[in-house]
Amino acid sequence: MATKGNNILHKGIPSIKDAFIIIIKTEWNNAIVNKLETGAKKILQQQGISTKTMIVPGAIEIPFAIKQHYAYSKKIPDAYIALGTVIKGDTPHFDYVCKFTTEGILQLNLSLDIPVIFGILTVNDEQQAIERIGGKHGHKGEEAAITALKMIALNRKLNNH
């Protein structure tokens, strides 16, 4: 796991021109998710990247929203960033939500020709989430944005060969 001050992702951020990224975020745990979005947008704005945010009810709905946007939008982005926070409770619901969301995003990465970045926190409690939005485990929203930039650069390089 990356920790604050020891994050290899922050090294070598590519300079991307004319990119557009869609952030899909959940309504659940919005105090945490909004901070993930703020961190992602901070990095993207520093790089001059335009963004649009879409909101879905929960994490399981993220893959559907991405699939539908990709299929029917007139403006396809260079990447999608999925942001959410799933906090473990007393039932197995947490396990199902994490599994289905992860598998959905994996399927999108294997079927779409643009990257879908997994910026969803899956934590045992709220304190662990707080540690990942600028605490001792860095800022996962910022990391998701940096990952998106690196994947856009890679995708453009691969498509130009």
Cα Rg, the chain, nearest whole Å: 15
- Conformation bin of residue 12: beta by default, left when phi > 0, alpha when psi is -120 to 50: left
Nearest to 54 by CA among 85, 21, 100: 21
Other beta carbons less than 10 A from residue 152's beta carbon:
22
Q: Which of 10, 69, 93, 161 is catalytic?
A: 93
| Active-site annotation holds for 161 | no
- Residues labelled catalytic: 93
